[in-house]
Structure 1
Amino acid sequence: MNRQDLIHQLQIYQAFNEQEETDRKVMLELLETTEDIFYRTNLLAHFSASAWVLNKAHTHVLMAFHNIYQNYAWLGGHADGEEDLLSVALREVQEESGIHTVKPIKEDIFSLETIEVNGHEKKGKYVPSHLHLNVTYLLEADDTESLHIKQDENSAVNWFPIDQVVDVVHEPWMVERIYKKLNQKLKEVNYES
């Protein structure tokens, strides 16, 4: 997949709510006007990919305890030049959790979010506040595989019952605007392959 494929996917994406429709328009505009939008050298905004990872029974979600934010969060990361965001999501799940058996439930975009990232230190260097233009994919992984942390990014990786995810996350905006939305989409959208 390349930039044009992502533009097409965003053009045909059926927004779930007003937040997604607004973010979809912003992403399309930036894809058309900003050459370095897939690189974190763009200090204002860049693409990232996340994964809402379900177990095979679709009863639990895989989350990692993020070192910078000291909070449980979905898995994912920066595009870092990669325009195939599904590949980014798959790779990040494997790197951040140690799970090897992970696949898309559908290859379509599951959710869209523009996420504000506060300024922070990473590897001894200051990273200014910026936006993640985040594309989320619905993935499935084998919950019998051993989990492993990625020490420079997280300090725990665990499966949580879907309805308890909002209880382990302490960032109100993420709970209200993202995780509750993802769970609502699981109930309302036909996501089976």
Structure 2
Amino acid sequence: MAYHNIYDSWAWLGGHADGNKNLREVVLKEVEEESGVKEVKFLSTDIFSIEILTVAGHEKRGEYVSSHLHLNLTFLLEADEKMNLQIKPDENSGVEWIKVDEISKKSSEKWFVERIYSKLCRKVKENLGEVI
């Protein structure tokens, strides 16, 4: 997870497709950009979860971004936790490996923890058991 400066909270890695229709390519690019992790493996060819989220208006890189809807696609990935992590200073100020059971304690976005992370963490455990 990364400590996202905009949301002032720990959150899963992510980003925008910016017109790229190859979502797997987008995922790999965002993971590397936000964490420095270059070697990841998709655990499934399927999208793991889809949500439509509201995003409040905010400042990003000195520009105002008005409130909007965000189509959130989640994929399950695997990487070696011994890989070096690095921050992306213009977006995050921390990157850590966080156990599934500890996500709700790390994220300060209460609504996101209750509505999104709890659902996705439960789904991960149902699909992967206690390997996480």
- Does the pair score TM above 0.5? yes
Instruction: Write out aligned runs for 1:43-58 (5 A).
Output: none
DSSP-derived class of the 1:78 partner: coil
TM-score (norm 1): 0.64
Distance 1:99 1:175, change over 3 A: same
Matched, 1:91 2:3: no
Matched, 1:102 2:27: no
Q: CA deviation at 1:188?
A: 2.0
Aligned partner of 1:114 in structure 2 is: 52
Aligned partner of 1:156 in structure 2 is: 94
DSSP-derived class of the 1:106 partner: coil
Matched, 1:176 2:114: yes
Matched, 1:166 2:104: yes
Instruction: Write out aligned runs for 1:1-193 (5 A).
Output: 63-189=1-127
Q: Which structure is larger by alpha-carbon Rg, 1 or 2?
A: 1
Q: CA deviation at 1:190?
A: 5.8
Structure having the larger proportion of residues in strand: 1
How many pairs align? 130
Give the percent of matched residue pairs that are identical in Structure 1 and Structure 2: 57
Aligned partner of 1:26 in structure 2 is: none
DSSP-derived class of the 2:10 partner: strand
**Following the alignment from structure 1 to structure 2, what is the Cα–Cα distance between the partners of residues 147 and 124?**
26
Calculate the aligned-residue CA RMSD, in Å: 1.5
**Following the alignment from structure 1 to structure 2, what is the Cα–Cα distance between the partners of residues 134 and 181?**
14
Aligned partner of 1:53 in structure 2 is: none
Q: CA deviation at 1:86?
A: 2.0
**Following the alignment from structure 2 to structure 1, what is the Cα–Cα distance between the partners of residues 4 and 64?**
18
Q: CA deviation at 1:187?
A: 2.1
Q: What are structure 1's unaligned runs of at least 5 residues?
A: 1-62
TM-score (norm 2): 0.93
1:75-123, Cα deviation, whole Å (9 max, x unpaired): 0101100112222112101110001111101121001111111101112
Q: CA deviation at 1:172?
A: 1.4
Q: What are structure 2's unaligned runs of at least 5 residues?
A: none
